[in-house]
Structure 1
Amino acid sequence: MSSLRRLSHALIIAASVGAFSSPANAQQPASMDTARIEQITGLKGTFSKQEGVFKVSKPRNDVKVQVDGSIMPPFMGLTSYAAFKPAHGSQVMMMGDTVVFEDEVNPVMSAALDAGLEVTALHNHFFFDQPKVYFMHIGGTGDAATLAEGVKKVYDRIAEVRSAHADPEKAFPGHIGDSSNISPAPLEAVFGSKGQTNNGMFKVVVGRTASMHGVTVGNEMGVNTWAAFAGTDDEAVVDGDFAMREDELQAVLKSMRASGINIVAIHQHMTGESPRILFLHYWGKGKAVDLAKGVKAALNAQAAITR
Structure 2
Amino acid sequence: MRILTSVAVLGLLVGTPALSAEGWQQEIASGLGKQGTEMPGGVYRVGLPRTDLNVTLDGVAIKPALALGSWLAFKPIGNEVMVMGDLVLTQEEINLVLMRLEQGGVEITALHNHLLRAEPATMYMHVHGQGDPAKLTATLKEALGASKTPFGAETAGISPQAAEQASTTGSIAQKVDLDTAVLDQTLGHKGKVNGGVYQVNVRRAEAVKDSGMEVPESMGSAIAINIQPTEPGKAATTGDFVLTANEVNPVIKALQSNGIEVTAVHNHMLNDEPRLFFMHFWANDDTAKVAKGLRAALDQVKTAKD
TM-score interval, normalised by the smaller of the two chains? 0.3 to 0.5
Larger Rg, first or second structure (1 or 2): 1
Kindly indicate which of the two structures has a greater share of residues assigned to helix.
1
TM-score (structure 2 length as normaliser): 0.42
Q: Which has the higher relative contact order, 1 or 2, with Cα contacts under 8 A spaced 6 or more apart?
A: 2
